[in-house]
């Protein structure tokens, strides 16, 4: 019967772990329920074996490793973030064990110092119910107010510093547990232990709340920056359209003079000069109309903006946006991915002779993925910041340098993948992105109307 209680308790622990992790982290990719069940079952079976050794510290260490490794396998998150939240989770579990152990001594005394099924069931089930209640309380408090997205993919030093609080709590709870198993405590000693435990719980809850608020603040700042980028792109594009309309009005006003000039060349027999004049006239801003690169109005605006920037700097620009390759993207993610990457690409290409920017977006129907590739000329190998990120070369480093972080942030919403590399032989910088298509889809043999 005791082994049946073991199995039920660890199955309940696995459920609590899944509930906590799935509420706080974004999944790396969709997996079957069978795979989740198998991994959690294997991990917590190992934890149960460690528990049967009756060594408190081995039990806590194995539980921590099981929770941490499962979180790393299934969910997005930096090492520091996964470490912090796993330690907080284990500290609440150890708290439940300690509090129930305090009052479990009374059952032990009632049964004349013998381990009975009743005393064991009280300790095992009571501690897990208390642990579940604390976790549910935390999740209810933040329900509907948080975003699972990570800001950037590099660990933060302050997160490692915050880990000291739950780690210290686990050490204290584990030490008290060892003492409680060996000695009896008086009523006042129990009261002091409970009071100290309450203080430690409040500290861990406070750490959790501060960290969660900080993460939401970073995400809100990032979202605000993306909105500002989108508004800036729209404003510049509308300004460009107004300028183009003005050029067209000027052209219409002067059309009579242009026709007379062409007629003069023809009358004088200077057909070659007339052809040159007509070619120059056709390239005038008043006769140029914006291209339709794709169906998405926002993406079309962004691409047209950087097309005009590249044309102004004599940079060749080409884009092949296949049908359904980008329509599923959210507006803010469109700005984050294409706005930042094309800003970097056009800036680098403008400093090269015979510079060019190429965009290719297409769908892999079999894998239900969208593949985005951006290639641009780059005079020299970009300098890495040593953390897998390309550092900004722009002078205003306070406002720049977050481009790839925003791109990576957006890509995680689609369980995506980002690869960047510099090709030395032809001096080109390559960005390759794979995104899982959440909605939509279609034939990649179709092109958008141009």
The three-state (H, E, C) secondary structure of the chain, written as one string: CHHHHHHHHHHHHHHHHHHHHHHHCCECCCCCHHHHHHHHHHHHHHHHHHHHCCCHHHHHHHHHHHHHHHHHHHECCCHHHHHHHHHHHHHHHHHHHHHHHHHHHHHHHHCCCCCCHHHHHHHHHHHHHHHHHHHHHHHHHHCCCCCCCCCCCCCCHHHHHHCHHHHHHHHHHHHHHHHHHHCCCCHHHHHHHHHHHHHHHHHHHHHHHHHHHHHHHHHHHHHHHHHHHHHHHHHHHHHHHHHHHHHHHHHHHHHHHHHHHHHHHHHCCCHHHHHHHHHHHHCCHHHCCCCCCCCCHHHHHHHHHHHHHHHHCCCEEEEEEECCCCCCCCHHHHHHHHHHHHHHHHHHHCCCCCCEEEEEEEEECCCCEEEEEEEEECCCCCCECCCCCECCCCCCCCCCCCHHHHHHHHHHCCCCEEEEEEECCCCEEEEEEEEECCCCCCCCCCECCC
Evaluate whether residue 209 is within a structural domain: yes
User: Same structural domain for residues 102 and 209?
Assistant: yes
Higher-confidence position of 17 and 216:
17
Q: Judge whether 100 and 127 are in contact, CB under 8 Å.
A: yes
Q: Where residue 252 falls among pLDDT bands split at 50, 70, 90?
A: low
* Domain stop point among 225, 247, 262: 225
Q: Judge whether 96 and 128 are in contact, CB under 8 Å.
A: yes
Give me the CATH number covering residue 385: 3.30.565.10
User: Same structural domain for residues 186 and 319?
Assistant: no
pTM over 0.85: no
Mean per-residue pLDDT for 145-151? 49
Instruction: Quote the pLDDT of residue 151.
Output: 43
Instruction: Quote the pLDDT of residue 331.
Output: 82
Evaluate whether residue 386 is within a structural domain: yes
100-109, 307-316, 386-395, 433-442: least confident range: 386-395
Evaluate whether residue 274 is within a structural domain: no
Task: Measure the CA–CA gap between 181 and 115, rounded to whole angstroms.
Answer: 12
Which tens digit of pLDDT belongs to each residue from 391-401?
555 555 444 44
Instruction: Quote the pLDDT of residue 111.
Output: 43
Evaluate whether residue 25 is within a structural domain: yes
> What's the mean pLDDT when you consider all of the chain?
76
In the predicted structure, residue 360 carries a pLDDT above the cut 80: yes
User: Same structural domain for residues 220 and 295?
Assistant: no
447: Cα within 13 Å, side-chain hemisphere: 7
User: Same structural domain for residues 18 and 140?
Assistant: yes
- What residue numbers bound the domain in which 384 lies? 290-450
Instruction: Quote the pLDDT of residue 377.
Output: 92
In the predicted structure, residue 253 carries a pLDDT above the cut 70: no
* Closest to 262 (Cα-Cα) out of 251, 273, 254: 273
Instruction: Quote the pLDDT of residue 104.
Output: 59
Instruction: Quote the pLDDT of residue 156.
Output: 63
The pairing of strands 417-423 and 369-377 is unpaired
In the predicted structure, residue 155 carries a pLDDT above the cut 70: no
Q: Judge whether 177 and 94 are in contact, CB under 8 Å.
A: yes
Q: What percent of the chain has pLDDT over 70?
A: 72
User: Same structural domain for residues 216 and 339?
Assistant: no
User: Same structural domain for residues 334 and 450?
Assistant: yes
User: Same structural domain for residues 197 and 305?
Assistant: no
User: Same structural domain for residues 85 and 218?
Assistant: yes
User: Same structural domain for residues 304 and 426?
Assistant: yes
Q: Judge whether 350 and 320 are in contact, CB under 8 Å.
A: no
Higher-confidence position of 63 and 223:
63
Mean per-residue pLDDT for 193-200? 79
Residues in the chain, total: 450
Higher-confidence position of 199 and 255:
199
Q: Where residue 406 falls among pLDDT bands split at 50, 70, 90?
A: confident
In the predicted structure, residue 384 carries a pLDDT above the cut 60: no
Q: Judge whether 284 and 243 are in contact, CB under 8 Å.
A: no
Evaluate whether residue 187 is within a structural domain: yes
Instruction: Quote the pLDDT of residue 440.
Output: 45
* Domain stop point among 225, 244, 267: 225
Evaluate whether residue 182 is within a structural domain: yes
User: Same structural domain for residues 177 and 324?
Assistant: no
In the predicted structure, residue 232 carries a pLDDT above the cut 80: no
Mean per-residue pLDDT for 42-63? 82
Q: How many domains does the chain have?
A: 2
Evaluate whether residue 55 is within a structural domain: yes
Q: Judge whether 233 and 343 are in contact, CB under 8 Å.
A: no
* Domain stop point among 225, 253, 281: 225
Q: Which residues pair with 377 in a beta bridge?
A: 428
* Closest to 4 (Cα-Cα) out of 109, 124, 86: 124
In the predicted structure, residue 282 carries a pLDDT above the cut 70: no
Sequence-distant (6+) residues with CB within 8 A of 208 are 85, 88, 138
User: Same structural domain for residues 296 and 212?
Assistant: no
Evaluate whether residue 255 is within a structural domain: no
Most confident of 5-9, 11-15, 205-209, 285-289: 11-15
Structure tokens at 97: 């064990």
In the predicted structure, residue 298 carries a pLDDT above the cut 60: yes
Handedness of CA 175, 180, 186, 188 (dihedral sign): positive
User: Same structural domain for residues 10 and 90?
Assistant: yes
């Amino acid at each position: 019967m005791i082994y049946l209680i073991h199995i039920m308790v660890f199955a309940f622990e696995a459920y609590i772990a899944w509930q906590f992790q799935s509420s706080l982290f974004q999944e790396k990719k969709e997996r079957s329920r069978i795979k989740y069940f198998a991994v959690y079952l294997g991990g917590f079976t190992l934890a149960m074996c460690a528990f049967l050794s009756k060594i408190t510290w081995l039990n806590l260490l194995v539980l921590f490793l099981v929770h941490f490794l499962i979180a790393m396998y299934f969910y997005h998150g930096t090492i520091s973030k996964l470490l912090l939240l796993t330690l907080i989770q284990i500290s609440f579990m150890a708290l439940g064990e300690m509090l129930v152990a305090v009052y479990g001594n009374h059952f032990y005394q009632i049964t004349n110092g013998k381990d009975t099924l009743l005393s064991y069931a009280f300790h095992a089930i009571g501690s897990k119910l208390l642990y579940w209640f604390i976790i549910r309380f935390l999740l209810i408090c933040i329900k509907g107010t948080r975003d699972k997205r990570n800001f950037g993919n590099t660990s933060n030093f302050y997160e490692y510093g915050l880990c000291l609080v739950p780690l210290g709590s686990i050490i204290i709870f584990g030490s008290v547990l060892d003492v409680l198993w060996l000695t009896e405590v008086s009523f006042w000693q129990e009261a002091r232990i409970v009071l100290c435990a309450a203080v430690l719980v409040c500290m861990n809850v406070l750490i959790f709340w501060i960290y969660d608020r900080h993460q939401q603040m970073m995400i809100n700042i990032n979202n605000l920056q993306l909105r500002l980028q989108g508004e800036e792109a729209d404003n510049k594009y509308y300004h460009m359209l107004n300028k183009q309309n003005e050029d067209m009005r000027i052209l219409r006003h002067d059309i009579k003079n242009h026709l007379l000039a062409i007629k003069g060349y023809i009358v004088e027999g200077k057909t070659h000069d007339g052809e040159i004049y007509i070619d120059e006239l056709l390239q005038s801003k008043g006769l140029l109309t914006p291209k339709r690169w794709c169906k998405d109005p926002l993406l079309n605006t962004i691409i047209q903006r950087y097309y005009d920037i590249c044309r102004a700097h004599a940079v060749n620009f080409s884009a092949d946006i296949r049908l359904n390759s980008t329509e599923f993207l959210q507006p803010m993610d469109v700005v984050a991915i294409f706005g930042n990457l094309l800003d970097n690409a056009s800036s680098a290409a403008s400093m090269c002779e015979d510079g060019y920017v190429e965009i290719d977006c297409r769908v892999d129907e079999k894998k239900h993925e969208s593949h985005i590739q951006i290639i641009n000329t780059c005079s020299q190998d970009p300098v890495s910041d040593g953390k897998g990120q390309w550092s900004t070369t722009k002078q205003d480093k306070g406002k720049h340098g977050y481009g790839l972080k925003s791109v990576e942030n957006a890509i995680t919403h689609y369980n995506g993948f980002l690869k960047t590399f510099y090709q030395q032989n032809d001096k080109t910088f390559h960005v390759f992105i794979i995104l899982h298509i959440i909605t939509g889809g279609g034939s990649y043999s179709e092109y958008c109307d141009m």
